[in-house]
Structure 1
């Protein structure tokens, strides 16, 4: 087990990727603080036992709550070693139909401010502990490419990529690593919104191997990045997309 005696915080814990990350980190020996805005949704972690997983209902768009979350994690388990800024939201909607207050502000606050607050609070905790922690941000392949229906989501994830680079540079003298993982098409409740608008089969075929990535596969990448085995990975976003961003929609199935 690669993460024995390590303490992690995972935001967006109740989502598909968040749950998978917590399952993987605990299987690797880590103690985890599971964070989500919904205390009801966090009940999924009750079976883990409080000695392994502590659940906290936190609004990551409120910096005071994020600071408190970090302090509680350190008090509960003695320190903080790994910060996973995973909370994120998004919904497909054409740009010209946007209501800025409904379709830009909330996504920006969770996806962008939430990551910024997590980076800042965790880095200050690492500095106070005089330890070399790891910060891992959940980005997306959409942070590097344009897409229809997801204007705000793409912009927010591009910001995550740049925050990862800039934070890594400033925090390197303290021995703190900052990196990100960029999932592609992952079979989660958030992505299932495309099923409701008739695009599920289309986006499935956009995968290089014609199948959706599973949350557990993203969790495996996060656990690796959190471990000492990834010590040379810093200031970069690791693609975990099964090649999604490297090709266009296949045409051969249309002519065979």
Structure 2
């Protein structure tokens, strides 16, 4: 009996020509394909004449599917996991299944290919040596603002996914939190007919998007330039004294925000100073 494997197979994010020969070969050879949406993936399978049976594995049934998948792997039958588009597990279900399969002693093998976040990062012209992938922001405005506020002083490039019905609200919240001068790149409909990659300071980018409703349609990757490192060595000594007093009683974020209100010093600089003091 051959060794059973769970393959994690990347599929195109738009252009079907991006499907790799290895991905087609694996999907044709396994006993079962676990797809996020079998109807959606059925069109891809038909295009490449892949007739392998499929079952659905998504957010609402992933844990229930684990037993069946482990049973088939136990019989020596290999399985492939795919998402609707791109690399599985990247803002998609699957990690619970992968962990269970690994813990059961079976091999999990990646079949690399498309990933929207990597494709966007490669063309954005933003620092890519260090970046943070934050996935989708919350649908509710309050939770979304809270998430963004926590990233105000993050020096690494920030990468988000966003949907068409929330793209404007998310960019407006980013402007409120990061300021209109923070440089942002919006990558829309990557590899598809109407692919657009546009970068500008947030204020200008929002004006451009408001002016053209077509730019509000499709699937988005939003990349935000990291915060510039504040020069904490030149902070006012009185501001640092106030910060130190507040840090004795409050968490870093609250202490920095309150110290900023008291002293008038920028919150980002005080937040970085507070982090430096905590780490020291």
Q: TM-score, normalised by structure 1?
A: 0.34
TM-score using structure 2 length: 0.32
Asked which structure has the greater CA Rg, the reply is 2
Kindly indicate which of the two structures has a greater share of residues assigned to strand: 2
**Structure with higher RCO (Cα < 8 A, 6+ apart):** 1
